[in-house]
Amino acid sequence: MYQVNWKNPYGDNRGYWLKGNLHTHTREGSPDGKVSFQEVAALYTNGGYTFLSFSEHLKLLSREVESPIMMIPGLEWNARTDLFPDIGPEKHVGLYSLDPGILQTCLQERTLCGLMQARRVKLQDSEGAMGTQQELGSRHIAILNHPNWAVLDNPIWNSTAHWSYEELAELASLVDGMEIFNGVILRLQGSPFALDKWDYLLSHGFKLLGFASDDFHESSDFGKGWVMVKTPEKSLEGIFKSLKEGAFYCSTGVGFSDIQRWGDIVTVKTTEPALIRGIGRFGKILYETEGVVASFPIEGEEYAYLRIEALGKDGSAAWTQPFFKGR
């Protein structure tokens, strides 16, 4: 079973840095997708991406792409209501698994409560006998999408944000993470960033990963945000394992070449000069330096955490996963 080491999600930091986008829509899979799946695959391949997922609305798109890019099965789930029986703005969750059957199980759920309950199912063991209850969640990744997307005239939501602080707190322990950057919101209402809500949850003891994505719908959405996975092997299994265990960082342009923890000191190296910050509870800037190398201590009680943010001169950024002081 995959598990995040919250003291150091990056482990011994050996392996390859691989670039990927998990939140992608195509013309064949989503009514709001404008580009064919073959063109999308080619675009990301030519852009230097190693892996990609077609996360269509309530649909598992199974197509063979004419590209060497590695495809992770995924979909974007949303609750169905009388007002939005199929596709609408009602609570979006990104789901990913190397086992498409798990995603099909999730597609059958119509409510958010039902989806979360489906994370526990009885799975057959290799001999065909019913085994003990296992976590379905250990075999798929669940991400709360675009928390600060705003639809001001939505009659369903209790707030203008897609996910309120209260809703995120209710679900934080049931999912793997949340999008801290969503590129398509750059051209929509709301904010593409959700660092405020991430720090809020981390500061209240919830441990969840941060993800960045394009949320690609049309060509102009390409290359806005992505994840860089550290994995010892260039395979779908290796990539999925690193995503599940938090061995990746998020970026809109800045790169990390090294991320390590020795004792209570976190050290990062960037691929270009940047303003490097150490961020603590409730988003407080604890440390700040300019250059390509920074080392910051994790101070405080067991629940304290430190995450690193690197800001480029062009306005781009990169974010590590949080390092917690204690277990």
Single out the residue of 297, 304, 256 nearest to residue 278, CA to CA: 297
Is 41 inside a domain boundary?
A: yes
Q: What is the pLDDT of residues 91-142, one digit of tens each?
A: 899 999 999 999 998 888 877 877 877 765 534 433 344 333 345 567 889 9
Same domain as 244, residue 313: no
What is the pTM for the complete model shown?
0.92
Same domain as 270, residue 231: no
User: Residue type for 159, please?
Assistant: S
Q: Domain boundary at 215, 250, 285, which?
A: 250
Domain that holds residue 321: 253-327
Tokens representing residue 314 in the block: 């062009």
Single out the residue of 47, 41, 48, 30 nearest to residue 66, CA to CA: 41
Q: Give the span between the Cα atoms of 21 and 214, in whole angstroms.
A: 7
Is 131 inside a domain boundary?
A: yes
CB within 8 Å of 71: residues ≥ 6 apart: 41, 51, 52, 53, 54, 65, 236
Say which range, 172-176, 256-260, 310-314, has the weakest mean pLDDT.
172-176
Is 206 inside a domain boundary?
A: yes
Greater confidence (113 vs 24) lies with: 24
The percent of residues above 90 in pLDDT, for the chain, comes to 71
Number of H helices, E strands in the chain: 6, 19
Q: What is the pLDDT of residues 204-238, one digit of tens each?
A: 999 999 999 999 999 999 999 999 999 999 999 99
Cα 142 to chain centroid distance, Å, stands at 8
Greater confidence (311 vs 154) lies with: 311
Same domain as 258, residue 200: no
Number of domains observed in the structure of the chain: 2
Question: Cα dist. 271→70, 116, 214, 257, 276 in Å?
Answer: 25, 39, 22, 6, 12
Same domain as 273, residue 327: yes
Same domain as 279, residue 168: no
91: left (phi over 0), alpha (psi -120 to 50) or beta: left
Q: Domain boundary at 222, 250, 278, which?
A: 250
pLDDT at 193: 98
Q: Give the span between the Cα atoms of 118 and 130, in whole angstroms.
A: 17
Cα 50 to chain centroid distance, Å, stands at 16
Q: What is the pLDDT of residues 243-283, one digit of tens each?
A: 999 999 999 999 999 999 999 999 999 999 999 999 999 99
Q: Domain boundary at 198, 232, 250, which?
A: 250
Contact (CB, 8 A) for 181 and 252: yes
Same domain as 262, residue 244: no
CATH number of the domain enclosing 287: 2.60.40.3080
What mean pLDDT do residues 69-90 have? 71
Tokens representing residue 322 in the block: 């949080």
* pLDDT band with cut points at 50, 70 and 90 for residue 37: very high
Q: Give the span between the Cα atoms of 109 and 111, in whole angstroms.
A: 6
Question: Cα dist. 128→106, 122, 124, 276 in Å?
Answer: 22, 12, 5, 52
Is 8 inside a domain boundary?
A: no
Is 218 inside a domain boundary?
A: yes
CATH number of the domain enclosing 22: 3.20.20.140
